[in-house]
């Protein structure tokens, strides 16, 4: 491995981890919460609900997955530009829909796919703007 392959490989690997574990975390949280059932806003049920959430293995897998995502995100931001990482990670919106479709058997309509593609484009455009416009104090 030459000297330039190192950081590139590291960056791609971490972005790959982000794009896998971020959506996976959300899908697992979705699966776990569907198992628990619809949430109501009633103070009386809050404790019972909290205990059911905190004893769900699927929810904890989801939280672990999101923590993996977050650590990869923080690490990659320590050397790669935010404006590079953010658009690359917009692929995650597509990944969420794919996982939701294949793992949770959700129906994703063509219109919804189109919306997701437009969101990804929007995130890429946002990411192409300068990441810092304020002067360091």
Partner 1 sequence: MRELIFYLLIIGAGTGGELCVSRAMKAVGEVKAFRPTALLGVAARALRVSWMWVGLALMGTAFFALLAVLSLENVSLVVPVTALSYAAGALGGKFFLGEQVSRRRWMGVLLVCVGVAFVIMGRR
CA-to-CA separations, 131 to 46, 87, 125, in angstroms, rounded = 40, 12, 12
**Residue 1 sits in the site that holds partner 1 (CB under 8 A):** no
Instruction: Pick the binder of partner 1 from 2, 4, 5, 130 (CB under 8 A).
Output: 130
- Taking the complex as a whole, the smallest distance from the CB of residue 2 to partner 1 amounts, in Å, to 23
- Taking the complex as a whole, the smallest distance from the CB of residue 1 to partner 1 amounts, in Å, to 21
Between 2 and 72, name the residue whose CB sits nearer to partner 1: 72
Nearest to 22 by CA among 129, 56, 30: 30
CA-to-CA separations, 38 to 44, 124, 133, 136, in angstroms, rounded = 15, 34, 43, 46
Q: Which of residues 16-55 bind partner 1 (CB under 8 A)?
A: 23, 26-27, 29-30, 33-34, 36-41, 53
CA 82 distance to own-chain centroid: 15
Which residues, in sequence order, are CB contacts of 42 under 8 Å at separation 6+?
none
Between 15 and 27, name the residue whose CB sits nearer to partner 1: 27
**Residue 64 sits in the site that holds partner 1 (CB under 8 A):** no
Torsion of CA 117, 131, 72, 54, to 10 degrees: -80
What residues make contact with partner 1 under the rule CB under 8 A? 23, 26-27, 29-30, 33-34, 36-41, 53, 59, 78, 93, 96-97, 99-101, 104, 106-130, 133-134, 136-137
């Amino acid at each position: 491995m030459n000297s330039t392959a190192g950081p590139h490989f590291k960056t791609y690997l971490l972005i790959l981890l982000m794009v896998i574990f971020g959506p996976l975390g959300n899908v697992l949280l979705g699966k776990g919460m569907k198992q628990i059932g619809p949430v109501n806003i009633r103070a009386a049920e809050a404790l019972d609900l909290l205990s059911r959430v905190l004893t769900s293995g699927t929810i904890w897998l989801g939280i672990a997955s999101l923590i993996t995502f977050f650590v990869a995100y923080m690490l990659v931001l320590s050397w790669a530009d935010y404006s590079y990482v953010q658009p690359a990670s917009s692929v995650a919106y597509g990944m969420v829909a794919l996982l939701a479709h294949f793992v949770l058997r959700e129906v994703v309509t063509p219109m919804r796919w189109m919306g997701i593609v437009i969101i990804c484009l929007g995130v890429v455009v946002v990411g192409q703007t300068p990441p810092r416009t304020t002067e360091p104090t």
